[in-house]
Chains A and B, each alone.
Chain A
Amino acid sequence: MNLFTHVNATTIAEATAATAKAGTAPIAGGSDLLTYLRTMCSPNAPTNLVNLKTVVPSMAYIKEEGGFLKVGALTTLTAIANDSTTLAKYTALAQAALSVASPELRNQGTIGGNICQKPRCQYFRFDNDDFKCLRKDPAGTCFALTGVNTYHSVFGPLNGCVAALPSDIAPVLVAMNANIVTTVKTWKAADFFVVPNVADARREQINALAAGEIVTEIQIPTPATGSKSAYMKWSFRKSIDFPLVSAAVLTTVAGGSVTAASIVLGAVYGQPRVATGAQTALVGQAINATSATAAGTAAATGTTVLPTPGGTNSNSYKVQIIKVMVQKAVLATA
């Protein structure tokens, strides 16, 4: 375990002040952060933790208000998955929350932590920082590019790194055009999930949060009439697994055909990947097997299978799975 200090913040102001100090990070459920610290995988690991769970008023809530579903950053994934309003109207979010890890981790893990988790590449996470990877050190190398990359990006490197987005929640927030409210500003999800360049000190992040900036709330616009959303996740195991391919889809149908479609892929690139071709293919069509298949095929264009060293398996299966997951998610919104 990396050695660290720990303080309980009682107000968000206190938390903000504490996290402004260099080498400090907030801790929510700790399900990602503690595993990261325990492996001592990064030289950039925080040495001070500020506990957000003790902040009053609590940031764990779900409410519909002013045209949004407002979810406090400290809300657990279990609470989201079990919330009937979320399931009925913001279905993809509930489905994504339910798909994360295992019941124990969903009880512990929060939505804020989920969208701020670190990359899951095996080289990045390797104990004791044995692999000096690019995401940890700009002078480092992307080992996965030439090494084991079975679970990695099929849309090429992002800032030189081929790690795939690990978050189940992130593609849903982009697909549903969510706002991410922080102690500094309100972000659009699409702007939030922009991975900083490796030259930037925030290179380990999967989002563009500034140092010391804390997520306080997620706001999801209430979908227009005729809208439905769905989240499909594919992984080796159903019981507990990170996504290897996922698709978040929000469609609005009027008069029997799609008037708006938002299709976002997860776990196939370093950040949520908007499948614009698939969206275009779907708009104007009725949702059926043909249009869903066409959307799937469009979503899987432009892929690049990474070169595979002998004795390891390639990531090419992701191309096939993108097609099927998009197809299934589109059909689920019918």
Chain B
Amino acid sequence: MSLVAPYTVVNDPKLHDPMAAMIVTGRLDFPDDRLAGRKLWAAVKTSTNAHGSILADAGTITAVNVGNAGSAYTSAPTVTFTGGGGTGASATATLSATGTISGITLNNAGSGYTSAPTITLTGGAGTGATATVAFTMGKLHIDTAAALAFPGVRGVFHAGSFPAGSSAAGAFATSWTNYGVVIAAVVADDWETARWACNLVNVTYNSPLPVVFDADAAMSASSPLSGRQATGNVTTSTQTRLDAAGNGAAYGLAHCDKTMQFTTDWTPTQQHNPIHPKTGLAYFTGDPGSQTVQGTGDCYGFSVTQNAMSHLNSLYSSVNMPQQQTHYSAHACGGGFGDGESTVQMSMAAVLSQALGGAPVVLKLSRKDHNHIGGRQYDTKGVFNIGYNKDGTIVAWQGGWYGNGGGASGMWYGPRTTYKIPYIDWTAYNIYTNTPARNSWRDVADIEGGGAFERCFDLIAADLGMDPYALRQKNLMGVLDHDQDGTKLIWSDKCVNDCLAQAYSASGYATKWHAPNTKTLPDGRKHGIAIGGRQDSHGGMSGGGRYGHIMMGGTHTNGSVEMYMGGSRASMGPQAAMMVVVAEVLGLPYSAVRLAEWGNGDITLADGMQNGSSHTPGAGSAFYMAALDMRTRIFNRACGLAPLNAVVPAGVTQAKATAVLSTVFPGGTIASFTITNGGSGYTGVPAVTISGGGGTSASATAHVTNGVVDSIVVTNPGSGFTTVPTVVISAVTPDLLDAANGSIFLKSDSTKTVTHATCTSGWDPQISVAQGWGSYLRTAAVGDSPIGSACNSTGAAAACIEVAVDTNTGEVEILSYVNATSTGTTLFKPGVQKEMMSGNEAGIGQWLFYGDVYDPTTAAVLQMSHGCFSHPTAMDLYPTANTYIEVQHNSPSGPLGCHGMAEPASGEGNVIWQAIYNAIGVFPDHNHGAGSPNVILKALGKAT
């Protein structure tokens, strides 16, 4: 493996600080003996209607506090209270001599407030002043007595259990706009008891408002409000693409040969994180404090995530603790169709633990709760007016992208970045109904944008009597074309063109394609074939579970490195590949790399892997980067050890410094260093070794400018120094070293070696946590875009799918499914192949079997697209029908030529729908539901 990476490692320095709060470990069960036999378990009580609030006695406004004092006020602004359900509160602002607000006096606390009202300050000629209300919540009508009396229950908590306005109170809903939001939590000796006792918590609801269920109806002016937005049920955003003269889609539509209107159906919704809910754990050592008074102890939390940083943030903010007293461990997982994340679980566990004096609490959601709280994908439709020429050139595209639950603008990513469309005028309509909270799953490989725009292309092709593949080719952006809208230069690797070409040839499309509804198979079924593909919105990110985390030193004194990794339970392949990467970067034998975790991102029982956005076994840059960081650290340490510390390379004058001890009580520590000779000729950062003086643990880092050591920073002042210690600044620097087979040696004289074992002995634990490359800088020049320039780095995929449709039963058989996905340089072939296999499973599952189904009156999730037995598995693949093509190329955006596969590995399931269209000549209408045979029968007029 080449270690030459022509790019700069850009990482958050905090992640490299061994004292940093975050330690991404990967133990599913927290590896701490202190918890043995002491864990308590929590379950949640959730709302059973979509739109309601808990009956509450009126609360009290106790004070009004100035947030921002503002400036330039010439007179006191008027204080207005809104919301909160009450009336009559009034307050007066007082002005300072400098034109700021010095205080606000509460004149009348008003009455009937069930939640804190919001405050606005108007007038007075100044700007920027803000204020908040201190509010004591009235008694919520939640009866916890029966649950508390149940044997084994240790506590029952809800918003009223915590100070009004605290983050703990905010974790529990008192009013809601969805089914299944968390109202209360029960902590008990075991989870089943906690879960059972949740049924004993009695909540008195206010009468629910009407549920807004239908996305079309929600858009009408007379629709009841879902309450999901401050005003109305719809938000919009727009995108236009104009020519140099400022002409937009209207102009394009007037200047093309033909136009066509499209209204696509509402697609199904799908789960985002469908696999079984994971637990979150938290506990405290020492004083846990409270929501209002910070504790002096330490808070420890554990969760499953693909985004450790955000989980760490939510941990310390949920318990009102400083970050340095908050310790977080994560089991890394993927997102997408992969594992369930457990942020909610961990931060709520922390709140409960704090309330119980710091006892370890594990919170686990039931599958029902997970289904309602976990992310879902929206159902979508498109209403378009597309202008094109007779030769198939798309000229203008006007219209609306509709997303029930938000994220509609994400849908337009695919056509915008894959095809040349000179004139665009798009509006995204984000519609908010009371069906459970949605996340977008963007446009990728999926029911959303892909389902909408690919079918338009097929319909335009049919109108022109053209082969749909030829139509796509006509409009594809060239590989070296510039991004049509963004500030970035061209794509790092616009590989969709290649994916389409490979899917086209591997499938035999050229000889198999026919006009829609024109081919019947000998057994009477209709034959259909279609092709589609697009550049994905992501895929640059990569690495095992997004974060690569490795550890050396500490208890690992034998030169070994420990690796923490999420991935796939079903296969150890990616882990093995990453271990190889880590071993080779650090120059260790493979046996010296230990894996501290297995993964959890499998989408299926048999095929493993998840095809979410983050876990991309093809690349693994996060581990590569973590290993590079560790390599620098251990090389730096080696520089300070014999025999390397005695070597003075040619051209280097060794720097010298002395330590200055602290005079501040209690003393015995190093305060600073005095450089007596900055030396010269340094090509890297030398080691600073501190010895003698009777003290321990001191450490320091040198800084080099133009080959001269110009400062030495104390990284650990140590303790116990009675005399000034000796300081040695090495002449050798890490860049002069290399490593192989457990030894670090001087490149110019390989007899000068220090073993990794020597380096790690007595070394403080070193943790390198790195993210996969996320800022896309070119590592190779492409077109007119030089090395180091910014570029879009994304995945890409195409599929060609052939089906047989039984028009008597609506059943669809996949005759062939070619999934061609861009993999950059494949590092781990079986992993990449399995990722694509999962993509085909997901594609088939989404497009032929089940979508999410909601109850129209409560918006409860009645059926999951991927829950329980509806989860697509390897048994759903037609084994002989699938072809997986790694479209390999040397990605110029990442080292080793790798990039993430991203979600296109999901197999472009919408192409199944297009193939059905090619078979029967009509696009079936999902009507928000599954793409199952019943809706195909409906399209054929055999069901209503």
Q: Which A residues are closer than 8 A to B by beta carbons? A: 1-3, 39-40, 101-102, 122-123, 126-131, 143, 146-148, 150, 234, 236-241, 305, 309-314, 316-317, 319-321, 324
Contacts and interface: CB of A to CB of B under 8 A. Distances in A.
A5 B524 CA distance: 56
Contact of A1 (B195, B217, B848): B195
Interface in B325-381: 366-368
8 contacts: A1-B195, A127-B366, A236-B932, A240-B873, A311-B927, A312-B853, A312-B929, A316-B943
Contacts of B856: 147-148, 309-312
A88 B606 CA distance: 32
Give chain B's interface residue range (CB within 8 Å of chain A): 35 or more
Contacts of B869: 101-102, 240-241
A312 B268 CA distance: 10
A130 B198 CA distance: 13
Interface in B157-203: 192-193, 195-196, 198-199
Nearest to B851: A313
A241 B856 CA distance: 24
A313 B215 CA distance: 15
B875 interface: yes
A130 B860 contact: yes
B875 A240 contact: yes
Nearest to B934: A317
Nearest to A121: B862
A36 to B, nearest CB: 13
B196 A2 contact: yes
Contacts of A320: 808-809, 937, 942-943
A316 B937 CA distance: 10
B863 interface: yes
B928 A236 contact: no
A235 to B, nearest CB: 9
B938 interface: yes
A141 B858 CA distance: 14
B402 to A, nearest CB: 14
Going nearest first, the 7 A-B pairs with the smallest beta carbon separation are: A239-B875, A127-B368, A317-B943, A317-B934, A122-B862, A313-B929, A316-B944
A324 B933 CA distance: 14
Given A236-B848, A324-B808, A122 B196 contact: no
A3 B875 contact: no
Chain B CB count within 10 A is highest, among A128, A131, A319, for A128
B848 A128 contact: no
A313 B935 CA distance: 8
A2 B366 CA distance: 13
A100 to B, nearest CB: 12
A311 to B, nearest CB: 5
Q: Is the interface of A mostly helix, strand, loop or mixed?
A: loop
Contact of A126 (B192, B848, B862): B862
B105 interface: no
Contact of B860 (A3, A126, A129, A324): A126
A237 B929 CA distance: 15
A128 B199 contact: yes
A81 B366 CA distance: 34
A130 B863 CA distance: 14
B710 interface: no
Interface string B912-942: 0000000000000001111011110110001
A313 B875 CA distance: 26
Contacts of A131: 855, 860
B504 interface: no
Interface in B211-260: 213-215, 217
Contacts of B808: 320, 324
Nearest to B933: A236
B662 interface: no
B876 interface: yes
A2 B849 CA distance: 31
B850 interface: yes
Contact of B853 (A2, A122, A128, A310): A122
A186 to B, nearest CB: 34
Contacts of B280: none
A125 B943 CA distance: 27
B118 interface: no
A328 B942 CA distance: 18
B750 interface: no
A146 B855 CA distance: 10
Contacts of B206: none
B213 A311 contact: yes
A84 B935 CA distance: 38
A290 to B, nearest CB: 16
B553 interface: no
A316 B927 CA distance: 14
Contacts of B876: 237-239
A237 B98 CA distance: 74
A317 B942 contact: yes
Given A316-B944, A317-B942, A148 B195 contact: no
A312 B928 contact: yes
Contacts of B944: 305, 314, 316
A148 B853 contact: yes
Given A143-B855, A150-B934, A316-B943, A321 B850 contact: no
Nearest to B367: A127
Given A2-B196, A3-B193, A324-B808, 17 more contacts: A1-B196, A122-B863, A123-B855, A123-B862, A126-B860, A128-B198, A128-B199, A128-B368, A148-B855, A237-B876, A240-B869, A311-B927, A312-B928, A313-B927, A316-B943, A317-B934, A317-B938
A139 B368 CA distance: 25
Contacts of A147: 855-857
Nearest to B433: A311
B857 to A, nearest CB: 6
B862 A236 contact: no
B943 A319 contact: yes
Given A148-B855, A148-B862, A311-B928, A236 B48 contact: no
A140 to B, nearest CB: 14
Contacts of A122: 853, 862-863
A102 B192 contact: no
Nearest to B927: A313
B810 interface: yes
Contacts of B937: 317, 320-321
A126 B179 CA distance: 13
Contacts of A39: 368
Chain A CB count within 10 A is highest, among B850, B853, B855, B942, for B855
Contacts of A324: 808-809
A236 B849 contact: yes
A130 B367 CA distance: 14
Interface string B856-878: 11101011000001000101100
A155 B87 CA distance: 56
B631 to A, nearest CB: 46
Contacts of A319: 943
A320 B806 CA distance: 12
Contacts of B266: 311
Contacts of A127: 366-368
B853 A150 contact: yes
A1 B938 CA distance: 39
A243 to B, nearest CB: 13
Contacts of B810: 317
A241 B853 CA distance: 16
A9 B367 CA distance: 32
A321 B214 contact: no
A130 B192 contact: no
Nearest to B366: A127
A311 B435 CA distance: 12
A242 to B, nearest CB: 8
Contacts of A312: 853, 856, 927-929
B379 to A, nearest CB: 9
A4 B943 CA distance: 45
B857 A40 contact: no
A101 B856 CA distance: 28
A122 B371 CA distance: 14
